[in-house]
Each structure stands twice: as C-alpha cells, then as structure tokens.
Amino acid sequence: MTTDQYDTIIVGAGTAGCVLAARLTEDASHRVLLLEAGQDYPPSASLPPILRSAKRVPMRGHSLGYDPDHDWNLDVSVSSDGSTMAVPQARVVGGGSAINGSISLRGAVRDYDVDWAGLGNPHWAWKDVLPAFKALEHDTAPDSRIHGRSGPVPIQRTHPQELSKLASAFVEASKNVGFPYQHDLNAPDAVGVGPVPQSRQGSHRISMANAYLDPARGRKNLTIRPNSLVKRLLFASPQTTRATGVELAQGTVYRGKRIVLAAGAVLTPTILQRSGVGPASHLRSLGVPLVLDLPVGDNLGDHFAVPLLAVPRPEACSDDDFALQAALRTSSAVQGPGSMDLQLTFFSYLHPGNPDPRVASKRGSRSLAGDGGLPPGATRLAGMACVLNKPRSVGVVRITDAEDASVLPAVDPRNLEHPTDRAAARELVRLGWKVMRSEPLRSVLGAPLSFSDEVVADDAALDEAVAKNNASAYHFVGTCKMAPREREGVVDESGRVYGLEGVWVGDASVIPVVPAANSMLPTIMVAERIAAALRAGGIENVAGGTEKEKARL
C-alpha cells in the first residue's frame, strides 16, 4: 500500500527525531511524517510512571521498573568466552531521552575544535556549536555567557544540601582526594566533582518528546506514526541513487521528497545497509543489491565503562533517593589536559533484577549494575561507573539478515583494541578505587563486589579484571561519520549522505568521535543544527546558529 507523499520523512522519533520534527514543521507549508518503531504516549495518554520519574533510570540492569517493550533488548558479544553486554536502545517516542539518566553534558571544547573541525568539518567548531547548546537549554546556572535561559530543554542540578547521603559521600570523598567542587560541569573544561546537569523539572523527567514534540503535536503539517518499523529506503529505480520513500516491515510504503534518518547509531546504519548502502563486500555476501559502497556501520564509538559496586549501608539509603546526582570529571595522563576523558558517574541506586519473565532470560548479560544478580539479602546496589570518555578503539555494526527488519544487527564494540585504552583504563579504575575507598564514601558502602587492593595495584591483574568486568555506558555514536568522503566520511557537514539524492542523517550516527560527555545533549545539538541546515539550504548558511537561535540568546 502506498500513501500520500510528504516533504520530509523522519525515520525514528527518538532524541534526535523529536527535535527534527519540531523544527522542520515550524514551516507550516512543509509536510512531515515521523515514523517510530515503538510506542507513543501523547500528552492525552497516561505516561507510565517509570518514564515520568527522574529518580530512576528505567534501563535493563538499572531498575525494577525496566519495561522490555521500551527497548530493543540488544545484547552485544564482548569476548571469546561468549559473554554478552546489555546495551539499551530505546524503542519508544522520545528515544534514549525517555529512559536514560537524563545527564545533559556538552563535552569538552576540543571535542569540537579537534574531533569535528580538525577532521574536516569547519562549521562544527566550538564557536559554532555553542550557540546551539545555549539555544536548546533553559538553564539557571550562574554564568549566562555560556548558558541559555529560554530554550525548550530545562536543565537542573542538585544543590549540595539536596544530595542523597550516598551521593554526598561520593562528592566529599572526591574532594578529600584532591578534586575541587564544580557546580557547573558544563563550564568549558571544568575539572572536578559536582552535580550532573539533567533534563528534568524537579522529580519529573523531561524527554525530548516532552520538550520538543508535545508542543508541535497540534500542527496540521505533522503526522506521527508509532509502531512503524522501517525496513529499507526505496529508490526511483535500480539504476539511480535518488531516494523516493521508505518501506515498512509489513509492506506499507510512504513517499517523501527527502528522508532524514534518526534511528540512532545502531539502527540508522542498519536501515542504510539493508537498503544497499554500506560496505560492498558485506552487502554482497548477504545478497543485498548494492546501491552505493560507503563505510556505513564503521567507526562505532562508545564510552567504555567499568562498574565499581557495593551494597550500601541501610542507614545511608532511602527509597526516595535519586539514582543519579553527581559525577567527577578530569583528564588522564594518557590523553592530557583538556581531554576530560575520565569520568566517575555515581549511582545511589542500581537494581539488576526484574520480575518480568521476558527479562529473566536476559540475566547474565553485563551492564553497569554487574552481571544481573544481587548478593543475598541485598535490596539495591550503589557505586560508580568508571567511564572512559575518549576511547580510541572503534567498533562496527553489520546487518545479519537482508530481509527481516526485526532481526537486530551484529554489533562489535571492539573495546580495548587500542593499546592506549588499556593504559587509560588502568588510570581510570585506580582513580575510581581511590575515591571508593576514601572517607566518607567508604563508611557508607559495604565491601566492593569486585576488584581488590591487590588487583588494582598490579597492572596485569588489573588488565585481566577490566577485561572481564567492562560494560557499555550506552553512548553509541559515529556509524555514519561526518567527515570528508576521502577521510572515510558517510555524510557531509549538513548531514547529507554522500552519493545519494534526498537522504540525510540527523542523529548520533554522524558524530565523528565519541565526545567527552554522555551523548544525549550533543545529539540534540546535532539535530538542531541539521534541522537548521535543511531549512537554510546547507550548514554554511547556519554557521553559528540560525537567526532565531541568535535572537533567543
């Protein structure tokens, strides 16, 4: 069945897709179709409490409230012994912003000046992206020179007196080992410990469905189709590279003048590969007719993480605790000042179990809460994710089935392949261990569930323990790299896919190198700027921000 033609079809109503849909439909004459494989909870519907609350992280391995219907339930093989790693990939309108920790970090200045502009993207330097970061946020942090006050995304931080007992102990322990207190971890290259900025209003999560899509739902030029799984792009003919629409898994066809992919760094390259756009040898091996040979699915970046966990003392816990309130950020000796490549993210609450029988079969897969079990008598875990923010190892995403859109791709993160990552990981875990075993944190946590003084002190033993205990921090980027084509790029600076007509990518897939920040806020910034580029006829006409963005500042 073929339906009406749209001006733009956006594939994926996640963090980026909500932004793109809201911005492109500001032009009332522009008809937009927003497709999402998961469920939708419009304002008139009842949003599940676990998606409404900012106190818990409703991901597998984090909370009893995890709902597998909101996740693709992706497990990634991480070693030759068959171990797997849980990698939450949201399947709900709002995407990752509907189920993540709401952390709203921008990254380091050199993420943009070196990793973007230095790679051949001159319109993505810090001076260019800062106006977009300011325009998207409603932040009451003191320094108005670097923060916006009237954007759609509310950014809040927990004040020291409002921290949970566990988070307060983490902050004080970090200070006691020599780190300064930083109330604004989004200040350029801020080193220290402090509250994480989060997209919330009090105890209510603000997803990008709330911030961007809900205000746009009444527009007559916006059509939202949830529960719509896209199988592939459609082209005008087998001999052309001009996209004319998309085909859903059940056979429905939607026609559009242009297609913007925003399905995330795993599923955007999956759709392209199934459409015949990707590494030629792999596509031919699956019998996929080749449309264009591009390195789609290469350059997978992620934040490598090692959890340091313990059972907290009962007197230090409250059921009312926010799961996530504070973090420490600094730079390693391996990558040097300004890299901000080491991050300790503290969790006052983690619960790896879940009574849902659909989840029980997933136990044993690594996550930031360990391997899926609680010690006898324990009701929760606490501790920190030791996050390597700038790993140099990169992985790949490859489809394994040419026809069935429900079959997830093979994802190989290739953690620790680069030797400098192993050295940085040692420094990272030793930093986390030092904080964890320092007062007052030591007194409110029980004995660590993994690692020991002896293991942490020995390079070989530590390398082995890190290899067995690492997990993903769930920040996949880079699989449709923004860079010149001769530098293995897939899209240009405006998000346009090289060699195709009418196809753009507007999500975390284009981020060329994983930033020194949780990926949500950089993804929102990317979607804002690519939407502006689409409306302006190219990123060169946007530069430091749209006229509307500049006016709001």
Q: Check the annotation: does 411 bind a ligand.
A: no
Of 138, 303, 351, 475, the active-site residue reads: 475
DSSP secondary structure letters along 451-473: --HHHHH-HHHHHHHHHHH-EE-
3-class SS of residue 483: coil
Interatomic CA distance for residues 88 and 359, integer angstroms: 13
- 115 Cβ contact list (under 8 Å, min separation 6): 512, 513, 515
Which stretches of 498-553 are DSSP H helices? Answer: 520-536, 547-552
C-alpha angle 467/469/470, rounded to 5°? 75
Tell me if 230 is assigned to a ligand binding site.
yes
Helices (H), 61-220: 109-113, 126-136, 165-176, 208, 214-216
Residue 118, exposed/middle/buried by CB under 10 A (0-12, 13-18, 19+)? middle
Closest CA to 345 of 280, 259, 432: 432
Determine phi and psi for 9, rounding to 5 degrees.
-110, 125
**Residue that the structure tokens 């300064």 belong to:** 180
Residue 475 a catalytic site member: yes
Q: Give the helix, strand, coil percentages of the chain, each rounded to 5.
A: 30, 25, 45
d(C-alpha 526, C-alpha 58), whole Å: 25
Alpha-helical regions (H) of 65-108 = none
Residues belonging to the binding site are 92, 230
Any idea which residues carry the catalytic annotation? 475
Residues belonging to the binding site for FAD are 92, 230
